Amino acid sequence: MSLTVVLGAATGVSAAEPLKILMLGDSLTAGYGLVKGQSVPAQLEMALKADGINVKILNAGVSGDTSAGGRARLAWALAEKPKGLIIELGANDGLRGLEPKQTFKNLNAIIEKALSAHLEILLTGMLAPPNLGSEYSTDFNRVYPILARYHGIDLYPFYLEGVASVPGLNLEDGLHPNERGVAIIVKNLMPHVKKLIKQIKK
C-alpha cells in the first residue's frame, strides 16, 4: 500500500484520480524513433501537469496503423475507460493512397462509437502527400473538417503544423518528428487539449 493511500485513509481524504484521455493514433502518436518518454502523449501529459492539471494521456498509438486499424482497436483501447479521446489517424492512409471515402468511413465510425460512450473528442487533421495529385488531396484534406462540423467536435486542422518538411524537426526519414518537433506539436495542441478537458469537466 502506498504512502498516499495510507495518508488518505488516515485523514479520510483519497487522492484524486487523474483524468484519463486516450490518444488513438499511428507512429506519430506511438513515438516512433524516440526514446521512452519523448512521445507526444508523454510530453503532452508532462506539459499539462506542469500547468497543474492532473491528467493521464493514454498512448494508443501503433506504428503503421491506418484509420481502419484504429477503428479495429478502439473497443479494446476504451477498456481503460477514458473520459476524452484525441484522434490522430490518417497519415498512413494518405501515404498509401487509400480511398478518402474509406478514411472518412473509418474515422466517422470511431467518432460515433466514442460519442456513444459519452467521450469528449478532439480530432486532429492530416494533409495528403502532394505527390498524389490535386484531386486526391482535395478529397482527402476535406475529410477532417467535414467530420468535425458534422459531429460538432473540435478540430486541430493539421497535426504536423510547423513541423512537416522541416529537416531540423524530423528524424532522418523526414516523416517522423524528433524531440524538437514533438515539442512544437505539443505546444500547438495544448490549447485544444485544455479545451477538451474543460468540456469533460462541465
Write out pLDDT tens, residues 68-101: 999 999 999 999 999 999 999 999 999 999 999 9
7 located within any domain: no
2 located within any domain: no
8 located within any domain: no
1 located within any domain: no
Determine which one of 39, 67, 93, 176 is catalytic: 176
Catalytic status, residue 173: yes
120 located within any domain: yes
Catalytic status, residue 65: no
pLDDT digits (tens, 9 = 90+) for 154-194: 999 999 999 999 999 999 999 999 999 999 999 999 999 99
Q: What is the CATH number of the domain that holds 114?
A: 3.40.50.1110
Size of the chain, expressed as the number of residues it contains: 202
187 located within any domain: yes
Q: How many domains does the chain have?
A: 1
pLDDT digits (tens, 9 = 90+) for 4-42: 444 444 434 346 899 999 999 999 999 999 999 999 999
Whether the full predicted model's pTM is greater than 0.85, yes or no, is yes
9 located within any domain: no
Determine which one of 26, 27, 65, 93 is catalytic: 27
Sign of CA dihedral 184, 33, 79, 98: positive
Catalytic status, residue 26: no
Dist CA 121 CA 116 (whole Å): 11
> Which of left, alpha, beta for 97 (phi over 0: left; psi -120 to 50: alpha)?
left
11 located within any domain: no
The range of the structural domain enclosing residue 30 comes to 16-201
